Amino acid sequence: GENVEQHPSTLSVQEGDSAVIKCTYSDSASNYFPWYKQELGKGPQLIIDIRSNVGEKKDQRIAVTLNKTAKHFSLHITETQPEDSAVYFCAPTSGTYKYIFGTGTRLKVLA
Amino acid sequence: DTGVSQNPRHKITKRGQNVTFRCDPISEHNRLYWYRQTLGQGPEFLTYFQNEAQLEKSRLLSDRFSAERPKGSFSTLEIQRTEQGDSAMYLCASSAHTGGIRGTEAFFGQGTRLTVV
């Protein structure tokens, strides 16, 4: 079955610094690669995604890069702000099955 | 449409009681997913529907759990004879699957937090 891992499990950065979270997956059929942000007591919120025919996608301060050969994709947050503090999950999938969530990364942005 | 809606937001029940949760997906989303999340863990897949058909169930979904999506719109998740281990956040998500193997965006509701005492 699908195996999804995230690193690091926790990450603390100073406000204004960059943060990078990596997600590795095992299923070569995966073709859609989203990142979710989850704040305490709330459901996961889709923040950025990428498809297998694209290597990088950027949306203001966040970006996602994909290395399909190596089966990993990464979330990049620049100029971090306290409101970026949350748990981040990756959830690679193809259209034929469900989303399998990674183990999560707790990001703390220190003011 | 304001997104995926789940009710109730919180439920406290005594062990052994039955509970039912409701999920209203984004209009015209044909896929609906149920996940369970315990503290400090990622969401774990329970089951999903395409329209009214339940396509897959996880091994986590014991005989005490049942999910329905009778008209391909809203869905209910029922837990019978609740146990303390059922305490978790139950999340619902929906997506518009257009066919084939292409993955699409899934949007989550705010979840129903179940506490079994």
Q: Would an 8 Å CB–CB cutoff place B25 in contact with chain A?
A: no
Of the two residues A104 and A98, the one the predictor is more confident about is A104
Residue type at position B84: Q
**What is the CA angle B89-B114-B60, rounded to 5?**
60
Closest CA–CA distance from residue B5 to any residue of chain A (Å): 11
**The pLDDT of residue B36:** 96
pLDDT at position A1: 47
CA of B112 to nearest chain A CA: how many angstroms apart? Answer: 9
Q: Does the pLDDT at position B64 exceed 90? A: yes
Band (B61; pLDDT cuts 50, 70, 90): confident
For position B62, what pLDDT does the model report?
87
Look up residue B90 and give its two tokens.
């139950």
* pLDDT tens string A35-74: 999 999 899 999 999 988 889 999 999 999 999 999 999 9
Report the residue count for chain B: 117
Phi, psi of A82 (to 5 degrees): -55, -35
Average pLDDT of chain A, as a whole number: 93
Confidence at residue A37, expressed as pLDDT on a 0 to 100 scale = 97
Closest chain B residue to A5, measured at CA? B42
CA distance A30 to A95: 8
CB A104 within 8 A of CB B41: yes
